[in-house]
Structure 1
Amino acid sequence: MQINAKTKDVVWNYLGIFFSLGSQVIWLPVLIHYLPPDILGLWYVFVSIGGLVELMDSGFTPTLSHCMTYAWSGAADLKKHGVSFSSEKSEPNYALVCGMLATCRRLYFAIALAATLLMATLGTVYIQRIAAEYLSW
């Protein structure tokens, strides 16, 4: 049975997800047992922030990685569906690489800005409500 490249990519993707979740399942009982409650709460906050970043990334990382690989492989142009290679050139397309880096910077700056604003506004409202409940006791 012959396995093509796309099948290998899918298998590696699922293995990565499995090991990521598996490591969290292994670490959670250890952390609950050994960490004090305040540090464990802080760990949960950082895990939540990581999850929010993953949610907002929405698959941009694999797409940008593929496009960057095409640019380093000598692609002349990236199209909506596919890529065009120049027949006489096999060296990296440095202009395309620089354009991709600029796009990545803008995209991830926008994602970081949106996440910061979301956490600053909704997080502040949430903390104020929780603090008001504790102060009303």
Structure 2
Amino acid sequence: MSTKITITLPDEIYQRAERFARLANRDIASILAETLQLSIPPVSIEVNNLEAISVLSDEQVLALTDLKMEAEQDTRLSQLLDRQQAGTLNEDERPELQALMQIYQEGLLRKATALSEAVKRGLIQPLSK
């Protein structure tokens, strides 16, 4: 199933996509769709049940700025990443690694969004350069 949308792109981006499509002998729509597919990570269905950070109380936003992965998950993720780096990760461990990476990435994105919201609300100072 596909959903048709209309977007406005900066001229430079459109021209880059057009040149790449010509080079690859493909249409621009398929190039852009594939690029989006590859660049937007999958998000778990549970995320749909989370409230937007912009509507949370100051206390809730500040709590999310300290969001961390559960200790057992963090330990297991480190073990699996070490095994992957060493080339000893087995096929049964790959889905577990993917699931833990998704939990980590979603948590990191939520934490970063909370940090941005906290700065916007004046709850914390922006990071210095």
User: Relative to total residues, which structure has the larger helix share, 1 or 2?
Assistant: 1
Q: Which has the higher contact order (CA 8 A, sep 6+)?
A: 2
The TM-score normalised by the length of structure 2 is: 0.29
- TM-score scaled by structure 1? 0.27
Whose strand fraction is larger, Structure 1's or Structure 2's?
Answer: 1
